[in-house]
Chains A and B, each alone.
Chain A
Amino acid sequence: MNIIVCIKRVPDTETRIRVGDDGTSIDPNGVKYVLSPYDEFAVEAALRLKEARGEGEVTVITLGDDASQETLRTALAMGADRAVLLQGEVTADGLATAKGLAAEIRESDPPLVLLGVKAADDDGQQVGPMLATLLGRPCATAVSSFEVTDAGVVCRSEVEGGTRVLELPLPAVVTITKGEYEPRYASLKGIMAAKRKPLEKKEAEMGPARLQVKAMELPKERVAGRIVGEGPDAVPELVRLLREEANVL
């Protein structure tokens, strides 16, 4: 079974964010970029499915600039077979991204497309179900584990207070969250092999971005509060402050 995984290059979660000179995006200087953590789960899920079935091909796709090739190589080093770079501008408009991905995926029409539940940079949480809707396919989001059966794909989707189990006929789109798929580390052999795996570059076909970032701001730094005291003896004073000063009890 062939699987496509959509992956994204994002700033490392350790990154201290600074606003760039344009005032609408981050200052890229000194930012280390990584494969988005949720997309790592998705790549891992695809590799496990392929290994369990003993057949099929895992293709990773990203929409972005040339620097995103590095992210594709990371996924190839984990074990993906092929990579596609859709060259285009990534904007705040997830629908524009989804359209670019849909144009490419519509052609190969694989039974299963996996994405991360959200990109760790923009937290858009939208590209997966948008892509599915554009392709006319069913979709399950925030899936912590899934199983391919004769009827389709059975997904465990994490929602408030529980897990919803959904069955989707194939072809389908599934977005992955933390759960079963702790990602593997790429082996040295994997990293070497990744250099020779096919990486195709194409121009992305996407519409205009209609969601404009007018300004980016840093949140008000929380001012460090006070240490009320040490040990259990400080508790009555804490309770008083929560009640009388913060008004939250």
Chain B
Amino acid sequence: MKILAIAEQRDGLLRGVSREVVSAAAGVAIGHEGEVDVLLVGGEGIEAQAAELNGSGAARVLVAAHGALADYHPDGYARILKGVVEAGGYNAVFLPATSQGKDLAPRLAALLDVPLAQDITGIAVVNGALELLRPVYAGKAFTRISVDATPVLATLRPNVFQPQDWQAEVDVESVEITEDPSSWPTRIVSFEATGGDIPDVAEAGVVVAGGRGLKDPENWNVLEDLRSALGNSAGLGASRAVVDAGWRPHGEQVGQTGKTVAPKLYFAVGISGAIQHLAGMRTAGTIVAVNRDADAPIFKVADYGIVGDLFEVVPRLTQEIRTLKGEG
């Protein structure tokens, strides 16, 4: 089984989710006489990042480098991918289910005329064919799906597939680019960063989420302190109530009309646990709830709960974690 994994870079640096996708592909390929190629698209010099994929399970990294490809360009990237996929004769193509991957994959699907499974959380091989596990209805159910076309095209949810370490080095080959960027209709105007260095809630390994219980947007410093104590992989999330109130940006909303997240640790602080919120975070590894109402529904899904006033509990938690990490 020959699989192509699409790597993702931003600002010329390989993103962590790339290794998850490559390892997931390798996990399938290795048991089924297969091999994995990675496609890395980026600006001049991006080939230096290929070494980051040593040991990820891939045999080859195909590098498509061009000044016009430094930043994600939907038209350009879709066309480059189409060329590489068609030339390679792949059984499957996997992308990360990041906003870039989820934007790019449907275009590729239409160009190749194959169906697409977005945001999958499991891959199995049944009687020689791929079977994909996909959450539907915002995580309230799962479907197992099979695809009646080649290649099987899917995007993989971040934080679900474990990156592996297989110790083998990758071969690097470059892809010839015949595309003329002036024929790409979309013009990229600008990128406005919001979160600084804080990872996005959908990709963060640890999420500290706050709800109406915080009472005032000013009080978010309580959560920000906890987040920073937890380290660089921690991000901030929010309930819809506080997003609608304008306290937090909608990029932070977790739930049915926000983002679906699967961090290894999720703190729900002053969040009641409405069904639409639970839909977005129930696949988290460990859930911790802090709420002063012992009957709040959030405690029904939380692994650990503390009943109490968040303004007393959270600062103490921050302090204990700092102490644990030797910073207090």
A residues within 8 Å of B by Cβ? 11, 13-17, 19, 24, 26, 37-38, 92-96, 98, 120-130, 132-134, 138-142, 144, 154, 157-169, 177-179, 209-219, 222, 224-232, 234-236, 238-239, 241-243, 246, 248-249
Binds A, one of B60-68, B161-169, B171-179, B186-194: B186-194
Name B189's contact: one of A37, A167, A179, A249 (CB within 8 Å): A167
Given known A129-B103, A224-B300, contact A26–B141 (CB-CB < 8 A) = yes
Are the CB atoms of A123 and B110 closer together than 8 Å? Answer: no
Chain B interface size band reads: 35 or more
Main secondary structure on chain A at its contact with chain B?
A: mixed
Q: Chain A: which residue is nearest B325 at the CB level?
A: A249
User: Which residues of B257-300 are within 8 A (CB) of A?
Assistant: 257-258, 260, 264-265, 275-276, 279, 282-283, 285-288, 294, 299-300
B105 touches A (CB below 8 Å): yes
Are the CB atoms of B308 and A161 closer together than 8 Å? Answer: no
Interface centre among B115, B195, B256 (most CB of A within 10 A): B115
Are the CB atoms of B137 and A26 closer together than 8 Å? Answer: yes
- A238 to B316: give the CA distance in the assembly, Å: 11
Are the CB atoms of B250 and A144 closer together than 8 Å? Answer: yes
Pairs across A and B, CB under 8 Å, 23 listed: A92-B145, A95-B114, A96-B115, A98-B106, A123-B135, A129-B106, A139-B74, A162-B193, A164-B190, A165-B190, A167-B189, A168-B185, A178-B243, A210-B147, A212-B145, A218-B142, A222-B287, A225-B303, A228-B305, A230-B307, A231-B306, A232-B313, A235-B306
Q: Chain B: which residue is nearest A141 at the CB level?
A: B103
B28 touches A (CB below 8 Å): no
B47 touches A (CB below 8 Å): no
B276 CB, nearest partner CB in chain A, Å: 5
Are the CB atoms of B303 and A239 closer together than 8 Å? Answer: no
Given known A166-B187, A231-B312, contact A134–B110 (CB-CB < 8 A) = yes
Are the CB atoms of B320 and A235 closer together than 8 Å? Answer: yes
Are the CB atoms of A227 and B143 closer together than 8 Å? Answer: no
Which residues of B are found within 8 Å of A120, using beta-carbon distances?
A: 137-138, 256-257
B174 CB, nearest partner CB in chain A, Å: 26
Which residues of B are found within 8 Å of A141, using beta-carbon distances?
A: 99, 102-103
